[in-house]
């Protein structure tokens, strides 16, 4: 499970640099959780 989260997290970070970065500003408390949900 940790391995998948790490892999997804890396992809999320790369995509986040483009669009999701603005989404994180709105969800700082659940940055990764929300980002992963949005990506899914």
Mind listing the pLDDT tens digit for each residue in 5-33?
788 777 777 766 555 555 555 555 555 55
State the maximum Cα–Cα separation within the chain, in Å, rounded to a whole number: 27
The pLDDT of residue 10 is 78
Surface-to-core class of residue 20, CB atoms within 10 Å of its CB (0-12 exposed, 13-18 middle, 19+ buried): buried
The reply to whether the predicted model has a pTM over 0.75 is no
Separation between Cα atoms, residue 36 and residue 30, nearest integer Å: 10
Separation between Cα atoms, residue 40 and residue 29, nearest integer Å: 19
Separation between Cα atoms, residue 19 and residue 4, nearest integer Å: 22
């Amino acid at each position: 499970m940790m391995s998948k989260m790490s892999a997804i997290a890396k992809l999320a970070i790369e995509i986040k640099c483009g669009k999701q970065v603005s989404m994180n500003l709105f969800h700082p408390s659940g940055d990764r959780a929300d980002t992963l949900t949005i990506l899914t």
